Amino acid sequence: MILVDTGPLVALFDPSEAQHSRCVRLLEGIDESLVTTTPVLTEAFHLLRPGSPGPPRLMAFITDGGLSVLPLDDQWRRRCFELMVHYADQPMDLADASIVSAAERCRTDKVFTLDLKHFGAYRIRRGYHQIPFRVIGDAEGPWIVREGTGEDSPVPDEHAHLPGALGSAAE
């Protein structure tokens, strides 16, 4: 499962977007299910120009099963609000918070986004661990920020998929 953020949805369905070709190429290489959230979908439809071909194409993509949409229930919405307060310095909007909370709930760390700055900073809570997102199409990631040092280092490929990818107590 790959969570999809607003940026790729807008770029995929608006050919005038600078990242359109890149997102189409990335989408063609994805063989996992794509999932987004209601807040992301709302934001994407807002950014796609009304009257342009984008909104009907996105509607058809969803209707044809290319993208599933997760609704927010009360518990999930509360978690989104907690995240928005926690990441207020970024700042985090509801769409991004819904992706982070969806990653926690669905136990995935993969996200298709153009927002490397924010999704490079956000962490997915897994028990006592805080794990980074794996950004689809980002050859540089995922990255760990080693707290207190200001140093970044890549997560070793053989451990990137593990919930404890932030390292062990022995380090």
How far apart are alpha carbons 141 and 88 in whole angstroms? Answer: 23
How far apart are alpha carbons 9 and 42 in whole angstroms? Answer: 11
Contact status, residue 67 vs residue 57, Cβ threshold 8 Å: no
**Closest alpha carbon to 124 in 162, 71, 88:** 162
**Close Cβ partners of 73 (under 8 Å, ≥ 6 residues apart):** none
User: Positive or negative, the Cα torsion across 33, 37, 43, 46?
Assistant: positive
The pLDDT of residue 52? 85
**Closest alpha carbon to 154 in 140, 168, 164:** 140
- β-strands 110-112, 2-4: how paired? parallel
Kindly indicate whether the domain formed by 2-140 is annotated with CATH number 1.20.140.10. no
The pLDDT of residue 56? 95
Domain boundaries, the chain: 2-140
The pLDDT of residue 127? 86
pLDDT tens over the chain, length 171 residues:
999 999 999 999 999 999 999 999 999 999 999 999 999 999 999 999 888 899 999 999 999 999 999 988 899 999 999 999 999 998 899 999 999 999 999 999 999 999 999 998 999 998 888 999 999 876 554 444 434 434 444 444 443 443 333 333 333
